[in-house]
Amino acid sequence: MLDVCLVGTGGMMPLPRRWLTALMTRYNGSSLLIDCGEGTQVAIKEKGWSFKPIDVICFTHYHGDHISGLPGLLLTMGNADRTEPLTLVGPKGLERVVNALRVIAPELPFEIKFIEITQPEQVIELNGYRITAFKVNHNVLCYGYTLEILRQGKFSAERAKEQDIPLKYWNPLQKGQTIEADGITYTPEMVLGPARKGIRLTYTTDTRPTESILRNAKESDLFICEGMYGEDDKADKARGYKHMTFREAAVLARDARVKEMWLTHYSPSLVRPDEFMDKVREIFPNAYPGKDGKVYYYAMNGQTGTINGDFPFERKKALLTSVVSALFVLIFMLVGGYFS
């Protein structure tokens, strides 16, 4: 299960009912955060999610609205007696920037590990995630991120039998374990087919449209993209400040053939993003305005790799549908006299 929460959707400054843009995911007991602006920990708390499992924080860039909330979050983690290490990922200068912010959080009971991105495109594997950082086009060094939960190849009982692998080792091998017994080494590759497409999420903000976004977002299940301006007449302003309009984000989503797009990082002047969505959906129909606390839950069968339900799967909508369906069946049975 991968849980995805758009913690905040604002750009530049937090507003009432709109926190600064940040994304949080949960997978296998590990949580990952992308960006941490002013008030991000308040937004997480409002959602009812926990800081404790956060063990990776990725930064797109070092403008204040994307990193200024870090010292407070570190202090909160420290006050909760956290001892597990925390890994920070970000563009060149990460350690220098974080240490400067830590003037007000100098002593922490846990280790901070730094991974600085040094290439235009760099792959990092952490806690079950395959993270691809890719350079985008902002007025400072800035990166987008693609998160993937990879699916292993399909287990083949026939191959296991052909190689006389004892039945008791099938399950551990299927889970990726290597077994050594009676002088023989059994590896997962002996019984698993080629890797299959897993869950793919792409997040990018504070940028102009780029080929790197198009390439890394290709066929993503969810594409979260900045939409600083909804108005088409602000296209020149978007180009000048190196941001995007809703229309430009929709073109990227269409050309990358993503399944679904959420818009985020709204200008403080953009009060009602919904008003511009009709024009966006003319370009890419499966587009939605991001909202603070918007959550999707992705369920994938561990053996077959199949995703349960439509992707993404929203629990609240599913629950509402179930309740309405149950009421409809109950009314039908009452009218039909099934209880008489």
Identify the CA nearest to 148 among candidates 208, 87, 214, 218: 218
CB atoms within 10 A of CB 52: 13
Identify the CA nearest to 6 among candidates 284, 270, 261: 261
Helix ranges (H only) for the chain are 40-47, 64-67, 70-79, 94-101, 157-162, 170-174, 211-216, 235-241, 246-256, 277-283, 315-335
CB atoms within 10 A of CB 97: 18
Residue with token string 């900045």: 226
Taking CB atoms within 8 Å and a gap of at least 24, the contacts of 25-28 are 25/147, 25/201, 26/1, 26/2, 26/53, 27/1, 27/2, 27/3, 27/127, 27/128, 27/129, 27/149, 28/127, 28/128
Q: Is the peptide bond before 109 cis (omega within 30 degrees of 0)?
A: no
Per DSSP (E only), the strands in the chain are 2-8, 22-27, 30-34, 54-58, 86-91, 112-117, 121-126, 129-135, 143-151, 179-181, 184-186, 196-204, 222-226, 261-264, 287-289, 294-298
C-alpha neighbours within 13 Å on the C-beta side of residue 228: 22
Q: Which of 65, 206, 221, 292 is catalytic?
A: 65
Tell me whether residue 3 is one of the annotated catalytic residues.
no
Residue with token string 């990018």: 204
- φ, ψ (nearest 5 deg) of residue 174: -65, -30
**Residues 196 and 149: beta-carbon distance below 8 Å:** no
Q: CA torsion sign, 73 to 121 to 196 to 295?
A: positive
Q: Which residues are catalytic?
A: 65
